[in-house]
Structure 1
Amino acid sequence: MDIETEREVHELTLAAIYHGRLLADEWQETGLVPLGTTKQLTQDLLQNLHERRELEELDEDRLHLLGEHIRKFTNQYREGLGDRALQQNIETEQIFDMKAIDLINLAWRWRQLRGAKRTLDDKMAAIKVTDRLLAQV
């Protein structure tokens, strides 16, 4: 792998770790408590994100699980807000409810983590495919 590719992978990894750590920290600040059969898995995921560990274990299913917790909790707080917050940016200038703002920001952070992790995964997949193709030449 050339130095430019290594730097790019490093930057993508850093972005995913950064957004994961901030998601875990902001999650704790909102007081969101996971419920149900996935409670322990979710708590373990958040702990790993907080400690900057096991990023490679954070697959699409686990990302989806975190997003579903945010969506459900936010929808319980204010009907439909979680659905909207996970799909699009919501301007908070005219919202004066700090809990709602915190939940909207948590959903935004989740979207940032999802985007960073998907970009990193795409880059790693591209490197593997490229290596295989070049080996055939």
Structure 2
Amino acid sequence: MDEKTERELHDRTLNTITHGRLLAQEWHTAGLVPRGSTKQLTLDLLQKLTDRCGLQDIDDDRIELLGEQIRRFTNEYREGLGDRAMATDIETEHIYDTKVIDLINLAWRWRQFRAAQRALEDKVAAIRQTDRLLAGI
């Protein structure tokens, strides 16, 4: 692998790890408590993100599980807010409820983490596919 590709892969990995760690921190700041049958799975995932490890174990299903919980908690706090926050950026300049701001920020962070994770996985897949193609020449 050339140096430029290594740097790009490193940057994408760093971006994913950073957003994951901040997602776990902001989850706790927002005071969300996982419930139901996925409680332990969620807590384990948040701990992996906090510890900056296990990226290979974090698939789209687990990321979507976190997102769904954020959406649901936020909708319970203020009807429809979770749906909006998960879909688009919401300006918080004129919002004075700190809990609402924390939940909006958490949804934004989740979207950033999901995008970073997907970009990293796409880059790794491209590298693998390129290696296979070049090996066949």
Category of TM-score, reference length = shorter chain: over 0.9
Q: State the alpha-carbon separation in 2 of the partners of residues 81 and 59 from structure 1.
A: 26
Q: State the alpha-carbon separation in 2 of the partners of residues 67 and 41 from structure 1.
A: 13
Unaligned runs of 5+ in 2: none
3-state SS, counterpart of residue 92 of structure 2 = coil
Aligned residue for 2:58?
58
Aligned residue for 1:100?
100
- Letter in structure 1 aligned against 2:59: D
Say whether residues 1:9 and 2:9 are aligned partners: yes
Q: State the alpha-carbon separation in 1 of the partners of residues 58 and 15 from structure 2.
A: 14
Instruction: State, as a whole percentage, how many aligned pairs show the same letter.
Output: 66
Using structure 1 for the length normalisation, give the TM-score.
0.99
3-state SS, counterpart of residue 32 of structure 1 = coil
Aligned residue for 1:36?
36
Q: State the alpha-carbon separation in 2 of the partners of residues 52 and 21 from structure 1.
A: 6
Using structure 2 for the length normalisation, give the TM-score.
0.99
Per the TM alignment, residue 83 of structure 1 is displaced from its structure 2 partner at its CA by: 0.5
Aligned residue for 2:125?
125
Q: State the alpha-carbon separation in 2 of the partners of residues 63 and 25 from structure 1.
A: 15
Q: State the alpha-carbon separation in 2 of the partners of residues 5 and 100 from structure 1.
A: 40
- Letter in structure 1 aligned against 2:79: E
Match runs of 1:56-95 below 5 Å: 56-95=56-95
- Letter in structure 1 aligned against 2:42: T
Q: State the alpha-carbon separation in 1 of the partners of residues 56 and 108 from structure 2.
A: 22
Per the TM alignment, residue 42 of structure 1 is displaced from its structure 2 partner at its CA by: 0.1
Instruction: Report the number of matched residues.
Output: 137
Unaligned runs of 5+ in 1: none
Per the TM alignment, residue 94 of structure 1 is displaced from its structure 2 partner at its CA by: 1.2
Aligned residue for 2:48?
48
Instruction: Spell out structure 1 runs of 4+ moving beyond 3 A.
Output: none
Q: State the alpha-carbon separation in 2 of the partners of residues 80 and 74 from structure 1.
A: 8
